[in-house]
Homo-oligomer: A and B are copies of this chain.
Amino acid sequence: MRFGTVPSGQRSETIHRANLSAILRALHEGGPRSRSELVAATGLTRSAIRALVRELAEAGLVSEDHAVRLGTPGRPSPLVRPEPAGAVVLAFEVLVDSIAAAIVGLGGKTLDRIRVDRPLEHLQVDDVVSELVRLVKALRVPDTGPMVGVGVAVAGVVRRSDGLVFMAPNLGWVDVPFGANLERALGLGLPLTVLNDADAGMLAEHRRGAAVGVDDALYISGEVGVGGGAIVGGQPLLGSAGLAGEIGHMTVNPDGVDCRCGARGCWETEVGRDVILRRAGAPQHAGLAGVEEVVAAAKAGSPEAWQALADVARWLGIGLGALVNILNPRLIVLGGVHARMYPVIREVVDAEVARRSLAAPRAEVRIVPAMLGVDAPLIGASEAAFDSLLADPTVWMTTGVNAYRLRSA
């Protein structure tokens, strides 16, 4: 067991790395800031900030505009920007009916992206890996600094340590070494993080969407399956093996219908995408577009469409109420189909949450639709891929893989 001390022999280099990390993280997450703002944000001296920013600029990770006046008296403070081309990551998304790949630059700028919508159910993992490699070759890779990581959001139960997918019932995968296979196929030798799509959605909304600055938040991925990602005390809720957040499989209706997972009456059997389509009498293959039609019909005054959504909304509120009691979040961000239906059926959801949660935590929580839409998991995957650079920029200031190497991947 080690405690939180800084061993004396390493103090100054450790502090130097921590300071570079703090500045780069502030710029990556918060966007351009003046040197004065960096002084305020980090507690470091002006001269320390100047020296550290110069180091980051020499490595091509940031740039400075000179002579920016911020409406305050005194000398103008140079504005420091993260350089999107200074370091990039590769991000992938593997959902039930779409896959996507993107190159994302420092500061969160998407430099290129390809999304392919199509049914992926029960596709072999090798085919998915080949398809992802094909997407990478099709990406337009700009002339950039080092590629520093790979992130993949998958609609499944994922072990963080090695990217093993224990179960992705809606893809038909069981115990698939997806991370290892993809790493081998890409051959980049970079840190690769595979994460659950809802965890990725939460990370994206926390860094760049509806939950920026919120330390206790919950994201619900309303797809065919229903997953959850949570931020607790400012940190991702992972659990002992990175599997936390499988909220779609909490029992809400013990005598309900069978779930793909083998249990009965799981939350996703009452609120998943296909349930909405079934209750509204729409065909299963209609997918997200079908749900959008049901929502539009309800808005236009169709009592049948409204009733179908209201029935689902009641179950949505029952589960959300339980989660409010268990996690005491400040914010619940609804993704996928729930983001679409919530504005139309808000009263029903909110009334059921009020009935099913204690007054004190209920008074603390707001429920909002996701801000980032279908891109949330891909953005979250890119954020996960940036983590090793942000934790220790010095490693990447001397080494790294040039993005051009991707051409030969």
Q: List the one stretch of A2-10, A105-113, A184-192, A378-386 in contact with chain B.
A: A2-10
**A254: which of B23, B244, B253 is its contact (CB, 8 Å)?**
B253
Q: Provided the pairs A11-B15, A263-B355, A322-B250 are in contact, do residues A238 and B242 lie with their beta carbons within 8 angstroms?
A: no
Q: Which residue of B lies closest to A330 (CB)?
A: B240
On whether the beta carbons of B361 and A239 are closer than 8 Å, the reply is yes
A2-B41, A360-B166 known; A252-B251 Cβ under 8 A: yes
Number of interface residues of A (CB under 8 A): 75
Does A237 sit within 8 A of B, measured CB to CB?
Answer: yes
Q: Which of A210-254 contact B (CB under 8 A)?
A: 213, 215-216, 228, 232-233, 235, 237-247, 249-254
* Set of chain B residues within 8 Å of A329, measured between Cβ atoms: 239-240
Cross-chain contact A328 with B243 (CB below 8 angstroms) = yes
Alpha-carbon distance between A321 and B247 when the two chains are bound, in angstroms: 11
Q: List the B side residues contacting A1 at CB < 8 Å.
A: 26, 30, 41, 213
Asked if A249 and B358 sit within 8 Å, CB to CB, the answer is: yes
How far, in angstroms, from A327 to B243 measured CA to CA in the complex?
8
Query: In the complex, are the beta carbons of B250 and A43 less than 8 A apart?
Result: no
The answer, among B3, B23, B243, B252, for a CB contact under 8 Å with A25, is: B3
Residues A239 and B6 in contact, CB atoms below 8 Å apart = no
Establish whether residues B263 and A356, one from each chain, have CB atoms under 8 Å apart when the complex forms.
yes
Partner of A239, one of B238, B241, B328: B328
Complex alpha-carbon distance, A237 and B18, angstroms:
26
What separation, in Å, do the CA atoms of A8 and B318 have in the docked complex? Answer: 51
Closest to A317 in B: B251
CA distance A240 to B48 in the complex (A): 35
Q: Which of B2, B215, B262, B322 contacts A42 (CB 8 A)?
A: B2
| A239 near B216: Cβ-Cβ < 8 Å | yes
B-chain residues with CB within 8 Å of residue A238 when the two chains form the complex = 216, 232-233, 328
Residue of B nearest to A321 (CB): B251
Q: Does A170 contact B (CB under 8 A)?
A: no
B3 A22 Cβ-Cβ under 8 A: yes
B244 touches A2 (CB 8 A): no
Which of A1, A9, A18, A245 has the most C-beta atoms of chain B within 10 angstroms of its own C-beta?
Answer: A1
Check: A176 CB closer than 8 A to any chain B CB: no
A242 close to B328 (CB less than 8 A)? yes
Q: Which of A103-162 contact B (CB under 8 A)?
A: 157, 159
**B5 close to A43 (CB less than 8 A):** yes
* 0/1 interface trace, chain A 350-366, chain B, CB 8 Å (1 if under): 00000111111100110
Residue of B nearest to A246 (CB): B325
Tell whether, in the assembled complex, residue B2 and residue A360 are in contact, meaning their CB atoms are under 8 Å apart.
no
Bound-state CA distance A41–B1 (Å) is: 6
Query: Given the complex of chains A and B, what is the CA–CA distance between A144 and B174 in angstroms?
Result: 60
A328 touches B233 (CB 8 A): no
Q: How many Å lie between the Cα of A247 and that of B328 in the bound state?
A: 11
- Chain B residues in 8 Å Cβ range of A67: none
Residues in chain A within 8 A of chain B (CB atoms): 1-9, 11, 15, 18-19, 22-23, 25-26, 30, 41-45, 48, 157, 159, 166-167, 213, 215-216, 228, 232-233, 235, 237-247, 249-254, 261-264, 318, 321-323, 325-330, 355-361, 364-365
3 nearest interchain CB pairs? A239-B328, A250-B322, A166-B360
